[in-house]
Amino acid sequence: MRLPAPATARRGMLVALLLLWELVPRTGLLPELFLPALSSTLAVLWQDRQIYSAALLVTLYEVALAMLIACGGGIAAGAVVGGIARLRELLLPVFSSLYAVPIVILYPVFTAWFGVGPESKIAFAGIYAFFPVMLSTAAGIRTIDPQFILAARSMGATLTQQVTRVIIPASLPTVFAGLRLGGALAIIGVVVSEMLTAAAGIGYLVTLNRTILDSPRVFAALLMILILSVAYYMLARAFESRMVVWQSAGRSPKAAQNESAGVPVSVAV
């Protein structure tokens, strides 16, 4: 027997999962309280679409600001720490020690400081996502092939030109990878903090409906978060592979196709 192609297998599993989600509660294998059928989940999602889209907007707003903090701060801090050897030796070990601390224990501090509104979520998720962005930016700058800089110097590049024309484009792949991770963590951070203490947002809808045992509405919120995170990840991936085709593309024929079609893949800085 031949096994189906991996991608086909994955699609098959997804379909099976969705079918089970519908059939298991319908046939009474599990009570609707534990697992409401997919159709009832979608039905309440449609019925309460105004509530859910308002909540989604709140969540997206918090995620966007958290990402701004994490990405802006992370890239700036990472560039400084990665670029200056002294600072790197001093701080990188400190950061990797601090990395062990579960940041979620700081969330009560943020609610005490900023209240239960969006500010505490933004602060928490911003910090939660800051570290990976910073660390990968630092790594991106540190791992640049020294030959690149040597070659630039031999061609007469000034220090500024070395930074803008070589160091920045060369570190982009790692920085993008950090941004992808940072964005995912910003979503996670916002959802977690909304679930813990909040008055709005999709995470809040999860918790609110859980306490009143309204399972279809819990699952509706859960489904939205799932779609949000997966969609973000796919978008980030697609964006990344377009921006830095040259990095991963050595093997992929798709990249070569893009290139020959004249898609501007080189990163203009």
Partner 1 sequence: MQHVAHLDETAIEVANLSHIYAGAQGTVPALEEISMRVGSGRFTVIVGPSGCGKTSLLMMLAGLRAQSQGTILCHGRPISDPDPKRVGVIFQEASLYPWLSALDNIEFPLSLRGARERETRQQRRARAEAMLRLVGLEGFGERFPYELSGGMKQRVSIARGLVQDPPVLLMDEPFAALDEQTRMTMGHELLRIWSTMLKTVVFITHSLTEAVYLADEVLVMSARPGRIIDRIAVNLPRPRTYEMMATDVFGQLRDRIWQQIRKTP
Partner 2 sequence: MKILLARLALLALVLAAWELMPRHEIVNPLLLPPLSDVLAMLGELLQRPQVHLAIGVTAAEVAVAFLIAVPLGAALGVLIAENEYLGEVFKPVLFYVFSIPKSIFLPMFILVFGITFAQKVAYAAFTTTFVVMLSASAAVESVKQDYLLVARSYGATRMQILLRVYVPSMMPLLLEALRISMIFNFTAVMIAEMYASRAGIGHLIAGWGENFQMRQLFAGIIVLATVAILFNETVRYFEARCSTWRT
User: Which residues make Cβ contacts (< 8 Å) with residue 2, sequence separation at least 6?
Assistant: none
Q: Choose one: 74-82, 104-112, 188-196, 243-251; the region binding partner 1 (CB under 8 A).
A: 243-251
By CB under 8 A, the residues from 67 to 106 that bind partner 2 are 89-90, 93-94, 97-106
Q: Cα 245 from chain centroid?
A: 20
Question: Is residue 250 close enough to count as binding partner 2 by CB under 8 A?
Answer: no
Q: Rounded to whole angstroms, how far apart are CA atoms 105 and 12?
A: 40
User: What b/e readout covers 80-97, taking b as 16+ CB neighbours within 10 angstroms?
Assistant: bbbbeeeebeebbeeeee
Q: Rounded to whole angstroms, how far apart are CA atoms 35 and 44?
A: 14
Site size toward partner 1, by CB under 8 A: 31
Question: Is residue 33 close enough to count as binding partner 2 by CB under 8 A?
Answer: yes
Are 64 and 122 spatial neighbours (Cβ–Cβ below 8 Å)?
no
Q: In angstroms, what is the minimal distance from the CB of 75 to partner 2?
A: 20
Backbone φ/ψ region at 158: left (φ over 0), alpha (ψ -120 to 50), beta: beta
User: Which residues make Cβ contacts (< 8 Å) with residue 243, sequence separation at least 6?
Assistant: 172, 176, 265, 267
Cβ distance to partner 2 smaller for residue 170 or 224: 224
Question: Is residue 259 close enough to count as binding partner 1 by CB under 8 A?
Answer: yes
Tell me the two tokens of residue 228.
């949000």
Which of 156, 159, 211, 213: binder of partner 1 (CB under 8 A)?
Answer: 156
Q: Rounded to whole angstroms, how far apart are CA atoms 169 and 269?
A: 7
Cβ distance to partner 2 smaller for residue 79 or 190: 190
133 binds, among partner 2, partner 1, none (CB under 5 to 8 A by kind): none
Question: Is residue 269 close enough to count as binding partner 2 by CB under 8 A?
Answer: no
Are 221 and 209 spatial neighbours (Cβ–Cβ below 8 Å)?
yes
User: What b/e readout covers 122-155, taking b as 16+ CB neighbours within 10 angstroms?
Assistant: bbbbbbbbbbbbbbbbbbbbbebeeeebeebeee
Question: Is residue 112 close enough to count as binding partner 2 by CB under 8 A?
Answer: yes
By CB under 8 A, the residues from 36 to 75 that bind partner 1 are none
By CB under 8 A, the residues from 113 to 172 that bind partner 2 are 113
Question: Is residue 46 close enough to count as binding partner 2 by CB under 8 A?
Answer: no
Binding mask 157-186 for partner 1 (x = CB under 8 A): xx--x---xx--xx-x--------------
Nearest CA-CA partner of 59 in 113, 124, 121? 121
Q: Rounded to whole angstroms, how far apart are CA atoms 21 and 202?
A: 21
Which of 43, 168, 188, 249: binder of partner 2 (CB under 8 A)?
Answer: 188
- What residues line the site for partner 2 (CB under 8 A)? 3, 6, 9-10, 13, 33-34, 89-90, 93-94, 97-109, 111-113, 184, 187-188, 191-192, 195-197, 203, 206-207, 210, 215, 218, 221-222, 225-226, 229-230, 232-233
- What residues line the site for partner 1 (CB under 8 A)? 145, 147-148, 150-158, 161, 165-166, 169-170, 172, 244-247, 249-250, 256, 259-260, 262, 265-267
